Amino acid sequence: MLTGSYRRVERFAIAVGLFELAFFFVAWAAHPDADLLLAGAVDIPFRSPGYLYLSAANIGAVIMPWRIFYQQSAVADKRLRPEHLPAARWDTAIGALLTQLIMAAVLIA
């Protein structure tokens, strides 16, 4: 990683990130009650100030401006051309979806 090669750093980060997939197995092993999960997903206390404060904190922690700059630097470091952008968008969308699924698995576990 100290060589400055973006490809090496990216591959190392992906390898480390793959360990997070273990949370899917941990969540399944916890045997969560499906009815309670569904009830918790539907019964959202929008009028509770504490819930709104927690929601604002989560949004602030997840949607960070530095990520926009990181994404742009990743595009520049990979030397992507305009014809590569659709694949890069899919890569970003799939990564965002996967991280949210992992977060849900962590909460269930």
Short-list 29, 27, 40, CA closest to 105? 27
State what percent of residues in the chain have pLDDT above 70: 93
Per-residue model confidence (pLDDT) at position 64: 67
End-to-end CA distance of the chain: 32
Which position has the token pair 């659709």?
A: 86
Segments making up each domain of the chain, as ranges: 21-108
Comparing 10 with 15, the larger pLDDT belongs to 15
Closest Cα to residue 104, out of 46, 45, 53, 37?
37
23 and 109 in contact (C-beta within 8 Å)?
A: yes
Q: What is the pLDDT of residues 18-55, one digit of tens each?
A: 999 999 999 999 999 999 989 988 888 999 999 999 88
